[in-house]
Chain A
Amino acid sequence: MSTAVNAQYEAEVRDPLILGKKSYHQMTEDICRPVEGKANKYWWTAFIISSTTMTWGILCLCYTIGNGIGSWGLNKTVGWAWDITNFVWWIGIGHAGTLISAILLLFRQRWRMSINRSAEAMTIFAVICAGLFPLFHTGRPWLDYWMLPLPNQFGSLWVNFNSPLLWDVFAISTYFSVSLVFWYLGLIPDLATIRDRAITPTRKFIYGLLSFGWKGTARDWLRFEEVALVLAGLSTPLVLSVHTIVSFDFATSIVPGWHTTIFPPYFVAGAIFSGFAMVLTLMLVARKVLGLEEYITTQHIELMNKVIILTGSIVGVAYITEFFIAWYSGVQYEAYAFQNRAFGPYWWAYWSMMTCNVVTPQLFWFKKIRTSAMATFIISIFVNIGMWFERFVIIVTSIHRDYLPSSWTMYSPTFIEVGIFVGTIGLFFTCFLVFARVFPVIALAELKTVMKKTSNQYKHKGVLHK
């Protein structure tokens, strides 16, 4: 990508985005190695663990389908708990990919190029994991297709366009399709590279098919970049809309603690927050395992950590605002819902959320911490946990004690529910590991555009290499 999107002046004093004075060839070699070579033992270990976990999740899911939702810990008062918590959590994680590929593309943030491919892949896998929950949390999952506005023989039956769950169906399916197309589009030139480097006919054939006959002509590039821009334009509102709509599931309801107008921005910020945390978690592992430290540099980590501070602080402000409004509104149910969150029987969930989401990211104000891979990794895990708890707190602590105290109950998960959640983590990592072996994890063609030109290096030798 050189013209429309990437034609941009970059100050020479800026640190290079890629270290190690790579040549184009060296870069191709580095990035294609995991795809073309044999898997190392780290990969196999990770793959076996994650696929086993995934299998366990599948078994738990089968048990649920066979016996009924009763095999979960839900009850007459708490109709959603881990299922929707996990759904929102995974959807949130997916957000980083779209943000990086679309919004950062439009903002010409070229540092995104090292990470956008895997972040987008992550988005797709996260959305798959997320989608499983609404699909299988229903009492009769075999009838889920009734939630689609399909012409049918049932008479004049139609879906309810008033229902936020229906909006979810549209939001998520749109999000998934656009993300998938965008991701795949970016892959095409790289797949062609692998095709061209192929030494076996099978590989040549498969990547030939996958690369849709990419020739690398100017006309190809022109169209490629235009489509990329169009898709970026399409995806940008999605970043905001998907989690907004997910938040409507709660915001449009009547449940104190759910019925909150702050939810859309708060959920979007939370989603980006958790998405970046998950990207960091994954990338820090991937760069180590795949040896990509020179492509995903400390600069990348630091930049992402800055996004985390920003979104983490937005989320923190949102938490406090909710509390203020609960008191200021004078609505006793609302006030109680929030007092109950912090001091009720699920206080531990609330304070875990507060610690993980509000306190820990603030450590990134220290440059030492935000540039340390290890510290970042740990904090990113905290954020992942914290954001899970955020959704749990919103969902469970709101409905377990709503209007009539006679119906108040407690909720605790069964091992089946836990199993399904752990299973989706297994699914996510299995997908990611397979992805890392069959597709280049870094957008090779794009990244080549941000290399400092060889001529530059010579011209400004004095500046760059003191």
Chain B
Amino acid sequence: MNKTYWKGVEELQNDAKFVQLKNNEFAEHLPLDEIVQEKSADITVSPRRDFLKFLGFSVAAASLAACEAPIRKTIPYLNRPEQVTPGASNWYASSYHDGYDYCAVLVKTREGRPIKVEGNTSSSVTKGGTNARIQASVLSLYDNARLRTPIANGAPVSWENMDREIAMKLQSVASANGKIRILSSTIISPSTLKVIEEFGKKYPNTKHVVYDAVSCSAMKAANKESFGVDEIPSYNFDKAEVIAAFDCDFLINWISPIEYSRQYAETRKLDSGKKTMSKHVQFESALSLTGSNADERYHVKPSMQGAVLANLYNAIASKAGATTVNAGSVGELAKAISMLADDLWTNKGKSLVVCGINNTAVQNLVNGINSLLENYGTTIDLDNHCHLRQGNDADMALLMDEMSKGEVGALLISNCNPVYTSPMGKQFGDAIKKVTCSISFADRADETAAACQYICPDHHPLESWNDAEPKLGKYSLTQPTIAPLFSTRQFAESLLMWAGSGSNYHDFIAQHWNANVLKGKSWNEVLQEGIFEGEQGASKSYKSAANLTAAADAAGRMNVAGVEMTLYEKTGVGSGVQANNPWLQELPDPVSKITWDNYLSVAPKDARDNSWKQGNIVEVKANGVSMKMPVVVQPGQMPGTCSVAVGYGRKGAGKVADGVGVNAYPFMTMVDGQLMAAAGGVQISKTVEDDVLLATTQSHHTMMGRAIVKETTLDEFVKDPTAGNERDLISVKVGKEEKKMNAQELNLWNSFEDGNHHFGMSIDLNSCIGCGTCVVACTAENNVPVVGKEEVTRSREMHWIRIDRYFSSDADPKEHESGDIKAMEIPSDNPKVVFQPVMCQHCAHAPCETVCPVIATSHSSEGMNQMIYNRCVGTRYCANNCPYKVRRFNWFRYTDNPKFDFNMNNDLGKMVLNPDVVVRARGVMEKCSLCVQRLQEGKLVAKKQGRKVKDGEINTACAQACPTQAITFGDYKDKESKLNKMWEPNGRSYHLLEELDVQPNVFYQTKVRNVKAEAHHEMSEEKKG
């Protein structure tokens, strides 16, 4: 009961007059009436003075009323749903699979809205890692381009009508014994596959065709030939001491990149006294992200890969005493191959050769090599195979054939877009017209869906019930985290309905799991965990039984003359499934640092020879297709080759993606029945069209001889852990003695008062692969606005964390030499690459803090540099004075502004906003806060439980998202924290620009390359020669 206070003695006594007055709105008498009636009862004849008073009052009142902010209605819960506490987040274990990416995730929901996706650490496949596309998937849920209702022949219809019409059509097709084809991308859901089976029972003439835009079907074919197993194996990169990759971007795109990047990083970490790391050799033409991370990287054009592999096979076969095959000459690569063969052979059973070329002969050679190296059973597991790429190019070709002959009665297309992704997309689009009943399950009217009669929009994975089996025996569940936003229905649910099954899909999954998967374990428990992993079967050794001589001959025949092109997927847009996601479009490509576009990457030498300049529009002809696109001069691209990213040039994907870049899929070539992401005989000619400005976030590519990313070789590191991390010591006179001191130990300033915590971060440059997952994670966590292509061209991207990418330069000075600054700006034609994530370094002596005239940026007692948006007037002095240039200014209003028509300009897109983080106003500076909202939440949780914050309990968005765990967040005050353990002992720790003595709380660990210093030197000499 609240205490009652009397307003006065009158109230206590409760006299009649008081009671009467109390009922009035204003207890005291207001003299308004007198003013009006003083002199005259009739207001219309008020005297001049009164008139002026009224006038003054009404003007003031009107202007005051006009000042009021518009009212936004907040609707409270009348009946609060169980489990939903406003202000507290709920987490659900789920899995995300869109036919291309798979990840076991935890979904954070606030007030019933999913706002963030994190990796589920319980999964032994993805191990809590994510990638940029997984991080961005939550925004794709709130995509305005998604269909609101089912569409029949271009008009919205109800599900009842749709079902009736389709049932009729299917019936008529079935009765005419017409072929029914279900075309989908890889389905890893056992229940969905079961549903398709059920559907097949009802319509016996049904066949399921699996088609992947970026296909690995040759691997399956080769495994069948070599080992009789029609599967893609699981790879254990973590068990490999030597990794050789041929045109294989396994760190971000190939099959199961989240899994592989984690495994790969395990072998590269040099924490806690570890002195060994894997050696990674890459053979490729275009500089991929994986290639950028390689210890050694060699240029091979795509059509030569077969010959290189055949040579490698021979080199190993001669060591193993096996028969050799015919191998063409590989010129100067012979030495590299023999070196690699030595390394591989010494690490027999602990090595791994992977190849991303979709060609059966080439894959057979790879299998042969791995089999000679006895890698099956150790680094390659063919028994517990991987399901993530099931596409079969031959089936797809057959389907095309059937369709164009008019044999297909009904075509059900789920989760794939062949009109856009197939090199024969146009023919496919025409062939759809010959199908009696074409049904698309696309969530939007994309290229293929637009050609179909019916669109039955599918749920987003975050709205769906589903299951997944990415690898044999490794199950995970998908559960809805929000009621479907629109009138959509899941593909499997639709099939079940049309198959006449009574149950809904959720029950179907539960039933299927109880019967076949769970083996007595409780469904609810598994659902809570999200993961169910049974006993792993033994991984056996395999010997290749393929005819390698024939394979080598076939692979050798691939070699073509002329310029060759490779097609690759970008970290952000990938195969184009989520192309309409502005977070992914604005994520800079890790290698080129270009956003919002695809382009033709050419070698610097070719650019010089043909006088192509960055941004020139060229016409590219290959495969009978001709396209115009801008040129990017890409160091690391092999001369005589070029590369283009797929996933761009959409029509019908939505406002964000449509018209961005060109569609490069038509350049894909059918070789030996398999779709190769490469083309030969490319002709490039410069057009007279105006140059375009590419939206790049980094226009300068070299380190200019500065010790920004410190690196060393493994040999040096083993000898001296501080190798490459030499510090400039400062001579100081202490008393009479002259002492050499580290800049960090010297201080002109008083240190700040410390609270209970002192937060900081460590970034291991040896683990960081530069994938950009942290960038998207940060964008999602901190409501970072998307600014669009034009603003990025003006260098105004808002990302709080960025990945700096530096190329080495031929002019890089040796120690204590000064180089030619002009020449140092030019990267080598085939440079070494380093990545460095940079966010606010949270300096203890922050230069930004002293210069702000209004104290809008200050130091917290927990070591952080804080930004007080409300106080900021926007002088930008702090940004000028920040040596790391991590501060971002709100040049415009990025919300509710039609000029920035991305997710913050519509109510649907705004649902993704994190309510714990304020959306910054125009004219305000912003920057990394070290996810202060998470720190506060974590501290509160601990406080409520009356304990200290545990190490690892709180994590920043970037650190949590990182697939390679390159970022470690922690508390310096916690002596046992992982962060503290990382700071000095391994000798690799350093502060960025530590000579400035701004004393950052973020530190880096040097990069170590597994190259022999002499061999490395020799190689570069050779190149020059």
Q: How many A-B residue pairs have CB under 8 A?
A: 170
Checking A147, A254, A333 against B854 with a beta-carbon cut-off of 8 angstroms, the contacting residue is A147
**What are the interface flags for A399-411 relative to B under an 8 Å C-beta threshold, 1 for contact and 0 otherwise?**
1011111111110
* A253, closest chain B residue (CB): B881
B814: interface (CB < 8 Å) = no
Q: Are A402 and B700 in contact (CB under 8 A)?
A: no
Q: Are B795 and A157 in contact (CB under 8 A)?
A: no
* B802: A residues at CB distance < 8 A: 406
* A406: B residues at CB distance < 8 A: 698, 700, 802, 804-806, 836, 838
Cα distance A252–B847 when bound, in Å?
Answer: 10
Checking A67, A139, A340, A402 against B872 with a beta-carbon cut-off of 8 angstroms, the contacting residue is A139
* B870, closest chain A residue (CB): A154
Given contacts A405-B706, A406-B838, is CB(A146)–CB(B804) below 8 Å?
no
* B893, closest chain A residue (CB): A68
From residue B345, how far is it (CB to closest CB) to chain A in Å? 40
Q: Are A138 and B704 in contact (CB under 8 A)?
A: no
Cα distance A67–B851 when bound, in Å?
Answer: 26
Q: Are B881 and A140 in contact (CB under 8 A)?
A: no
**What are the interface flags for A140-151 relative to B under an 8 Å C-beta threshold, 1 for contact and 0 otherwise?**
110110110000
Cα distance A75–B871 when bound, in Å?
Answer: 22
In this complex, the member of A75, A164, A252 whose beta carbon has the largest number of chain B beta carbons within 10 angstroms is A75
Q: Are A336 and B821 in contact (CB under 8 A)?
A: yes
* B881: A residues at CB distance < 8 A: 253-255
* B702, closest chain A residue (CB): A405
A310: interface (CB < 8 Å) = no
From residue A138, how far is it (CB to closest CB) to chain B in Å? 5
**What are the interface flags for A65-79 relative to B under an 8 Å C-beta threshold, 1 for contact and 0 otherwise?**
001111001111101
* A165: B residues at CB distance < 8 A: 851-853, 875, 877
**What are the interface flags for A54-71 relative to B under an 8 Å C-beta threshold, 1 for contact and 0 otherwise?**
000000000000011110
* A402: B residues at CB distance < 8 A: 883, 885
Q: Are B855 and A157 in contact (CB under 8 A)?
A: yes
In this complex, the member of B876, B888, B890 whose beta carbon has the largest number of chain A beta carbons within 10 angstroms is B876
A137: interface (CB < 8 Å) = yes
Cα distance A405–B996 when bound, in Å?
Answer: 16
Task: Tell me the A103-134 residues at the B interface (CB within 8 Å).
Answer: 134
Cα distance A159–B893 when bound, in Å?
Answer: 26
* B797: A residues at CB distance < 8 A: 76
* B838: A residues at CB distance < 8 A: 404, 406
**What are the interface flags for B873-909 relative to A under an 8 Å C-beta threshold, 1 for contact and 0 otherwise?**
1111101110111011111110000000000000000
Which of B50-58, B620-628, B921-929 lies on the face that meets chain A?
B921-929
A415: interface (CB < 8 Å) = no
Cα distance A140–B702 when bound, in Å?
Answer: 36
Given contacts A68-B890, A70-B891, A76-B889, is CB(A140)–CB(B872) below 8 Å?
yes
* B804: A residues at CB distance < 8 A: 404, 406
* A249, closest chain B residue (CB): B877
Cα distance A146–B852 when bound, in Å?
Answer: 11
Checking B698, B847, B876 against A79 with a beta-carbon cut-off of 8 angstroms, the contacting residue is B876
Task: Tell me the A320-361 residues at the B interface (CB within 8 Å).
Answer: 332-333, 335-336, 339-340, 343
In this complex, the member of A137, A407, A408 whose beta carbon has the largest number of chain B beta carbons within 10 angstroms is A407
B703: interface (CB < 8 Å) = yes
Checking B705, B853, B876, B924 against A332 with a beta-carbon cut-off of 8 angstroms, the contacting residue is B705
Interface size class of B (residues with CB under 8 A): 35 or more
* B847: A residues at CB distance < 8 A: 253-254
Q: Are A77 and B871 in contact (CB under 8 A)?
A: no
Checking A80, A143, A162, A169 against B850 with a beta-carbon cut-off of 8 angstroms, the contacting residue is A162
Checking A140, A160, A405 against B855 with a beta-carbon cut-off of 8 angstroms, the contacting residue is A160
Q: Are B880 and A169 in contact (CB under 8 A)?
A: no
A262: interface (CB < 8 Å) = no
* B934: A residues at CB distance < 8 A: none
Cα distance A221–B90 when bound, in Å?
Answer: 82
* A173: B residues at CB distance < 8 A: none
How many residues of chain A get a CB closer than 8 Å to chain B's CBs?
A: 54
Given contacts A160-B852, A406-B698, is CB(A339)–CB(B821) below 8 Å?
yes
In this complex, the member of A67, A70, A160 whose beta carbon has the largest number of chain B beta carbons within 10 angstroms is A70
From residue A23, how far is it (CB to closest CB) to chain B in Å? 55
In this complex, the member of A163, A169, A255, A336 whose beta carbon has the largest number of chain B beta carbons within 10 angstroms is A163
Q: Are A158 and B855 in contact (CB under 8 A)?
A: yes
* A137: B residues at CB distance < 8 A: 875-876
Checking A138, A333, A399, A404 against B874 with a beta-carbon cut-off of 8 angstroms, the contacting residue is A138
A166: interface (CB < 8 Å) = yes
Q: Are A403 and B855 in contact (CB under 8 A)?
A: no
* A405: B residues at CB distance < 8 A: 700-704, 706, 708, 806
Cα distance A138–B805 when bound, in Å?
Answer: 32
Cα distance A343–B806 when bound, in Å?
Answer: 23
B796: interface (CB < 8 Å) = yes
Cα distance A336–B700 when bound, in Å?
Answer: 15
Q: Are B892 and A139 in contact (CB under 8 A)?
A: no
From residue A330, how far is it (CB to closest CB) to chain B in Å? 10
Task: Tell me the B801-844 residues at the A interface (CB within 8 Å).
Answer: 802, 804-806, 818, 821-822, 836, 838
* B821: A residues at CB distance < 8 A: 336, 339-340, 343
B517: interface (CB < 8 Å) = no
From residue A75, how far is it (CB to closest CB) to chain B in Å? 4
Q: Are A76 and B885 in contact (CB under 8 A)?
A: yes
* A80: B residues at CB distance < 8 A: 876-877, 880
Q: Are A407 and B818 in contact (CB under 8 A)?
A: no
Q: Are A139 and B885 in contact (CB under 8 A)?
A: no
**What are the interface flags for A147-185 relative to B under an 8 Å C-beta threshold, 1 for contact and 0 otherwise?**
100000000011110111110010000000000000000
* A343: B residues at CB distance < 8 A: 821-822
From residue A246, how far is it (CB to closest CB) to chain B in Å? 13
B993: interface (CB < 8 Å) = yes
**What are the interface flags for A36-48 relative to B under an 8 Å C-beta threshold, 1 for contact and 0 otherwise?**
0000000000000
Cα distance A123–B822 when bound, in Å?
Answer: 43
* B899, closest chain A residue (CB): A67
B699: interface (CB < 8 Å) = yes
* B998: A residues at CB distance < 8 A: 254
Given contacts A139-B924, A146-B871, A332-B706, is CB(A68)–CB(B892) below 8 Å?
yes
Cα distance A165–B873 when bound, in Å?
Answer: 12
Q: Are A68 and B923 in contact (CB under 8 A)?
A: yes
* B925, closest chain A residue (CB): A139
From residue A259, how far is it (CB to closest CB) to chain B in Å? 10
From residue A13, how far is it (CB to closest CB) to chain B in Å? 55
* A335: B residues at CB distance < 8 A: 818
Cα distance A27–B883 when bound, in Å?
Answer: 60
* B701: A residues at CB distance < 8 A: 405
* A408: B residues at CB distance < 8 A: 699-700
Given contacts A139-B872, A255-B881, A332-B705, is CB(A69)–CB(B795) below 8 Å?
no
* A134: B residues at CB distance < 8 A: 875
Q: Are B795 and A77 in contact (CB under 8 A)?
A: yes
Checking B703, B855, B883, B892 against A70 with a beta-carbon cut-off of 8 angstroms, the contacting residue is B892
Q: Are A67 and B892 in contact (CB under 8 A)?
A: yes
From residue B862, how far is it (CB to closest CB) to chain A in Å? 20
B22: interface (CB < 8 Å) = no
From residue A344, how far is it (CB to closest CB) to chain B in Å? 8
**What are the interface flags for A409-423 relative to B under an 8 Å C-beta threshold, 1 for contact and 0 otherwise?**
110000000000000
Q: Are B796 and A146 in contact (CB under 8 A)?
A: no
Q: Are A79 and B889 in contact (CB under 8 A)?
A: yes
A-B CB contact pairs (8 Å), 20 listed: A68-B893, A69-B891, A70-B791, A75-B794, A76-B795, A77-B795, A140-B872, A140-B923, A147-B873, A157-B854, A159-B854, A160-B855, A166-B853, A169-B853, A332-B706, A336-B704, A403-B885, A404-B884, A407-B885, A408-B699
Assuming A76-B796, A140-B921, A408-B700, what are 14 further A-B pairs, CB within 8 angstroms? Answer: A75-B795, A80-B880, A138-B874, A146-B854, A147-B873, A160-B855, A252-B850, A253-B881, A254-B883, A405-B702, A405-B706, A406-B698, A407-B885, A409-B699
8 nearest CB pairs, A to B:
A139-B874, A139-B923, A70-B891, A79-B876, A406-B804, A407-B885, A75-B795, A140-B923
